[in-house]
């Protein structure tokens, strides 16, 4: 499947070149068995040495004694090893019908695929694995954790082949919502790592606040308490601003219902205010959950937006307080 455009298969040479010199820092401590390139919770063989410190009799292991520093300072010093382990990242990718919408350069699904590819490339190191939960057609489908570029290309091809306009049918009466998908991911993968949620979050009510938070806030807060969590919101300009087109048929992407609406100036203004309030509610809810947030749009260069976020994150990671063991 040779790449044709960025929107077709979002792992082309332009994307690789743009992200080659960037990496998404994982600052939370991880659990694992292999020794990779991320901070771990436990010490172990092959660990990198940390800074030397004064030896405390009865508390420190004498086998960790740093004899070179001890000889120079004439004071016993030890050097704690810092265990490095592999990163296991899991992404919840929203492939509901609303993600097939797009009126600009590309559809929201294509931007979401690009974000998945870019963030996976930015976080993968030796021994790292990535897995995906798909919220599609009212069900959760899981892609087992794997590693390597070949697995990523196969994953993107699978997403691209997924049926569009995936609306719940009579065969799927118990449809799964975004909060339920978050609960499922939290239960299925308790091991510490990186969690990425890519969605439009359109089920957020405009009036969501601290007194009446959105339904996805509680499970997302539960995930962020244990894992480093990144939320990626994908939007289209027509979701906040309606064109002056008079009488137009409008379709609910989730249910398929069609209704003719007269787009008067008053209606367009009301819609804009409600949509803006909804976007603000999404932003406030993610901030309350304590997760990092990337806002992507179909009418902007999502590669530049991700690169800008990663650059800012690398600058701020030095100010991040250490996570207790």
For residues 171 and 110, the model is more confident at 110
pTM recorded for the entire structure: 0.76
- Residue 324 pLDDT more than 50? no
The per-residue pLDDT for 18 is 55
Q: Is the pLDDT of residue 275 over 80?
A: yes
- Interatomic CA distance for residues 199 and 262, integer angstroms: 29
* Structural domains of the chain, ranges and CATH numbers in brackets: 13-30+86-319 (3.40.50.410), 48-82 (no CATH)
| Cα 46 versus chain centre, distance | 30
Rounded to whole angstroms, the Cα distance separating 149 from 155 reads 10
* Residue 144 φ/ψ, nearest 5 degrees: -60, 155
pLDDT tens column, 66-124? 899 999 999 999 886 654 557 789 999 999 888 988 887 888 999 999 999 988 888 87
Under 8 Å between Cβ of 63 and 111: no
Average pLDDT in the 8-12 region?
A: 49
> What pairs with residue 194 in β-bridges?
89, 228
Q: Give whole-number Cα distances, 261 to 191, 210, 302, 325, in Å.
A: 49, 33, 32, 57
């Amino acid at each position: 499947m040779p790449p044709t455009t960025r929107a077709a298969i979002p792992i082309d040479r332009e994307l690789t070149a743009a992200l080659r010199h960037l990496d998404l820092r994982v600052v939370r401590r991880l659990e694992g068995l292999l020794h990779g390139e991320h901070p771990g919770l436990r010490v172990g063989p092959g660990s990198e040495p940390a800074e030397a410190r004064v030896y405390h009799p009865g508390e420190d292991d004498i086998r960790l004694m740093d004899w070179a520093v001890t000889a120079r300072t004439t004071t016993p010093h030890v050097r704690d090893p810092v265990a490095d382990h592999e990163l296991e990242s899991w992404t919840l990718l929203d492939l509901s019908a609303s993600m097939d919408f797009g009126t600009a350069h590309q559809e929201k699904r294509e931007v979401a695929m690009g974000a998945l590819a870019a963030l996976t490339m930015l976080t993968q190191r030796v021994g790292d694995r990535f897995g995906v939960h798909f919220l599609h057609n009212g069900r959760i489908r899981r892609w087992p954790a794997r590693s390597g570029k070949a697995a990523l290309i196969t994953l993107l091809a699978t997403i691209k082949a997924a049926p569009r306009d995936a609306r719940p049918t009579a065969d799927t009466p118990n449809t799964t919502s975004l909060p339920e998908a978050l609960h499922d991911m939290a239960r299925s993968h308790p091991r510490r790592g990186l969690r990425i949620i890519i969605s439009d979050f359109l089920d957020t009510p405009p009036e969501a606040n601290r007194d009446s938070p959105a339904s996805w806030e509680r499970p997302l807060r539960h995930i962020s308490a244990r894992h480093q969590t990144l939320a990626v919101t994908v939007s289209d300009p027509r979701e906040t601003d309606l064109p002056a087109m008079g009488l137009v048929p409008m379709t609910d992407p989730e249910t398929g219902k069609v209704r003719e609406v007269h787009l008067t100036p008053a209606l367009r203004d009301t819609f804009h205010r409600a949509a803006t309030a909804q976007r603000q509610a999404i932003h406030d809810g993610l901030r309350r959950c304590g997760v990092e947030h990337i806002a992507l749009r179909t009418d902007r260069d999502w590669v530049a937006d991700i690169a800008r976020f990663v650059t800012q994150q690398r600058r701020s990671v030095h100010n991040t307080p250490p996570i207790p063991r």
